Structure 1
Amino acid sequence: MLGAYCTFLFARWSARELVLRRYPKLQSLAARVQGRKGWWSVVLIRQIPVAGLYNDILLGISAIGHRDFWIGTGLGFLPQGIAATLVGAGMVQTDFVALGRYLAVAAAVLLVLTLAWNRLVAQAGKQHAA
């Protein structure tokens, strides 16, 4: 998270206005991001299957606040972080049964988090449409 925040700060303080003037498409994208709930936008952007560097730069040129960046990044990193931790812990096991348990728990956690995420997104879509 610290690396993501440093990239966010670099994008925010380096040449934000120059980048937005030079690439008008980024300006419209950044405007859409800032128009939504701050931390929720960060969580949604964290789920996009793009390298985190680009997400951090996009968030840095947007008007997302620092608090919203930290909250959204923490929540956005959870699904992949939990599953990756469980898979990594399972890989160092010498017993195949223990490895299977870790991988099964990782798959179950990822499934539950994915279902919960889909439900949250669906509810947010319904609220936004209403």
Structure 2
Amino acid sequence: MAKKGPRAKTFAELAGEPTWSETAAVRTGQHAVRLGGTNVAGEFFDPSGNRLALEAADVSTDAAQEALDAGALVVAESCGCGGDFGGCTPVWLSNQQLRSLRGGPPPVFTGSHRAPTWLELWGNTEGRVIYAHGDVSWGGMALG
């Protein structure tokens, strides 16, 4: 009599297993958390290591100011590479800098270095982030 192979898992057993996003694989290799940066898989994280999701790829300066006034963080890269792997490191504004910009005028696109320039809005359950790319000045301070 031939031996039977291992019993196949039932649907209930499969449904009870962790998904890929619940395993250690999500935190290693190309999906490793990069505090305040972007990992190889292209996932962007806030300084606490919480993954961010892109909410708007091109926001107006007024919308960025509104988000900042509502408590958003600000990060910037000045070369216009997008902040992924262009060779620059995103710079996160300090709490003191954020306080000084809240309630003030919106950011300005300066064109001083002719870098590609735009603003993005990112978010997660912890809050929102304005990502300034390129030649952006806010409150008289060049970002990035």
Instruction: Work out whether the TM-score is over 0.5.
Output: no
Q: TM-score range by the shorter chain?
A: under 0.3
Question: When the two structures are superposed, what TM-score results if normalisation uses the length of structure 2?
Answer: 0.19
Structure holding more helix per residue: 1
**Bigger Rg, structure 1 or 2:** 2
